[in-house]
Chain A
C-alpha cells in the first residue's frame, strides 16, 4: 500500500481500504477496554515478564521503584512532604486547627483525610472525573491508617491531640494531592502522609490560668515552640497486585491495567496488620490471600526501613 503525502490511500483496492477500517475499529475497541490502551502484544509482554520474574522495567516481582522523600515542601501548613516513587508523585500536607472534640469522644481529637487527584496527573481526572478514585483512596487510607473505632492500631494517638478534655482539641486535616500518577498511588500516599506527620510541628498551647473550668477556656498558642509527633506507630501500606497467577509490588499503571485484583495491607513496626482493603472484583482464594499477607509483611519491613531513612535524610537536608 502506498500513501500520498496527505495520508490518503493512493493505490490499493477496496479490500485494502476495508482492512484499514477494520484495524481502526480494533484500535478503538482496544482503547475502550484498557484504560492505558495497550495492544495485545504489550499485554502479553507485561504478563509474560511478570510470570518470569523480570518486569518490563527490569525489576523483580517484589522490588520497589526508587523512592524519594522531600519534607517541608508547603510552607503555610504544619507539616508536608512530597514522595516520588518512579513517575508517581504525590504531596501530603497536615494542617492542625483548634476545635471542639465531639460529644461522644470527649477525650480524643479528630483526624480527617482528604485525597485529591489533580488533572495534571491524568486528563481523565478532569472535572469530577477524579472524585471516584479520590474517594476510594481516602477510604482505603482511612481504613489503613486510622485504626479501629476504639482507637486500637491507629497510627496517630488521638488522645494526644487533646488540649482541654471535652472542650478544646486539635483537629488534624491531612490533605493528599496526586500530582503525577504512574501506579501504586495508595502506597505513595501512605508514605507521604507518614513523612508529612513526622515533619509536623504542633504549636505548644497554654491554657490561661483560671479559665480551665469555663465553657470556653482561653488558650494561648505559642508561635515558636512546636511539639513533634511520634510517628513510629504510623504504618506503611504495601499493595500487592495480582497479574495472572503471580502478584507484584509497586505496580506501574500499565501493570495495574492488567490486574485481576489488588490487596493493600498496612503494617506497623511490630509487624501487626493495621488494615486491609481489596480492589478489583475478581475473587481470591483464602489461602492465596494468607500467602499474600505473609509476603507483604516481609516486604513491609524493607519499605519501613527505607522510608524511615529517607525521611531522616530529608529532615536533615531541610534543617541544613
Chain B
C-alpha cells in the first residue's frame, strides 16, 4: 500500500514532517487535583491526577520518595470497532507501566516522601499515538496539580514508511507494520526519557527518524508551555492580580 503519494502527501493529506492538529485544555475534571484533555488529530485523551496524598496501601509506602501510580484505560467507544475489554488487559498494563516510568522520571519524587500520586488516563478516541497523547496529557495534569517536576515531558511518535520518515503516525499508518518510534524527552534538559520501537530500522535511518520525533516533541513542548502560561494568566486574572 502506498502511504506517501508521489506528490509527497500522506493518507490524511499531511506532509511527511507535519504533525496533526494538537489541542489541549486544562481542568476537565473539577474534582481532581489536576486534569487535562489532550487531542492529537482524532486521538483524544483525558488525564486526571490525584495527589500528592496519603499512601492508601501502607505496604507500598516509600519513606524517601513519593509513590507514583498510573492507570490507563480505553473507553468502549474509543476505537472504530466497538469492543468490550476489561480493565487490566496486557496492553493497558504495559502502557500504564510506560507512562508511570516516564512520569516518575520527571517528577521530583524526593520532595514528597511518604506520599502517593495517582495518574489516571482515559482514552476517549484512539487514532494512533495514544501513548504519546497520554504522556502529554499527564504532563499537563501534573503541572495543573502543582506537582514539582524537573521539566515538562513531552512525547511524539515517528515512523518510516515508503522510505520516508513520517512524523506523528495515525492509526492506519501505525497498523501498517512499519517501524514505529515513540519518543519522550525532557525538552529543556535535552534528555530522552522514553524510547520504544517496534519492527526493524537501519541505525543511520533511526537517527533521522529520532531527530524528527525530537522536533515533534519540542513543538509539543512549546504548545504545552503556551497553554500553561495562558492558564496561569487566567488564574491570575481571576484572583484580581
Contact = CB atoms under 8 A, between A and B. Distances in A.
Contacts of A93: 76-77
Given A127-B87, A182-B31, A116 B75 contact: yes
A173 B82 contact: yes
Given A75-B42, A95-B82, A127-B71, A120 B87 contact: no
Nearest to A74: B77
B73 interface: yes
Given A93-B77, A114-B84, A179-B46, A121 B124 contact: no
Contact of A118 (B56, B73, B79, B82): B73
Given A75-B125, A128-B87, A123 B76 contact: no
A318 B125 CA distance: 19
B76 A76 contact: no
Contact of B125 (A74, A121, A181): A74
A123 B75 contact: no
Interface string A19-38: 00000000000000000000
Contacts of B121: 120
Interface in B41-88: 42, 46-48, 50, 56, 71, 73, 75-77, 79-80, 82, 84, 87-88
Nearest to A176: B76
A165 interface: no
A180 interface: yes
Most A Cβ at <10 Å: residue of B30, B31, B47, B71: B31
A203 to B, nearest CB: 15
A175 interface: yes
Contacts of B32: 120, 180
Contact of A87 (B31, B47, B88): B31
Given A74-B77, A80-B77, A97-B82, A122 B31 contact: yes
B169 to A, nearest CB: 18
Given A75-B42, A120-B35, A126-B71, A175 B120 contact: no
A222 interface: no
A119 interface: yes
B38 to A, nearest CB: 13
A89 interface: yes
B215 interface: no
B41 to A, nearest CB: 11
B24 interface: no
A305 to B, nearest CB: 27
B88 A177 contact: no
A260 to B, nearest CB: 24
A127 B120 contact: no
Given A74-B124, A97-B82, A118-B122, A177 B75 contact: yes
A91 interface: yes
A126 B124 contact: no
A314 B145 CA distance: 31
B118 interface: yes
A318 to B, nearest CB: 16
Interface string A176-218: 0101111000000000000000000000000000000000000
Contact of B118 (A74, A87, A123, A181): A123
A59 to B, nearest CB: 17
B50 A95 contact: no
Given A114-B76, A116-B76, A121 B118 contact: no
B29 interface: yes
A149 B82 CA distance: 26
A288 B76 CA distance: 40
Nearest to B82: A95
B172 to A, nearest CB: 13
A182 B118 contact: no
A77 interface: yes
B9 interface: no
Contacts of A182: 30-31
B111 to A, nearest CB: 15
B31 A126 contact: no
Interface in A51-76: 74-76
A7 to B, nearest CB: 12
A119 B76 contact: no
A179 B75 CA distance: 10
Contacts of A77: 77, 82
Chain A to chain B: the 5 pairs with minimum beta-carbon distance, closest first: A120-B48, A93-B77, A180-B29, A175-B76, A119-B120
Given A74-B125, A114-B84, 8 more contacts: A89-B29, A97-B82, A118-B75, A119-B71, A120-B121, A123-B118, A180-B30, A180-B31
26 contacts: A75-B42, A76-B125, A77-B77, A93-B77, A114-B84, A116-B75, A116-B76, A118-B46, A118-B73, A118-B120, A118-B122, A119-B48, A119-B122, A120-B48, A120-B122, A121-B31, A121-B48, A123-B50, A126-B118, A126-B120, A127-B87, A127-B88, A128-B87, A175-B77, A177-B77, A180-B32
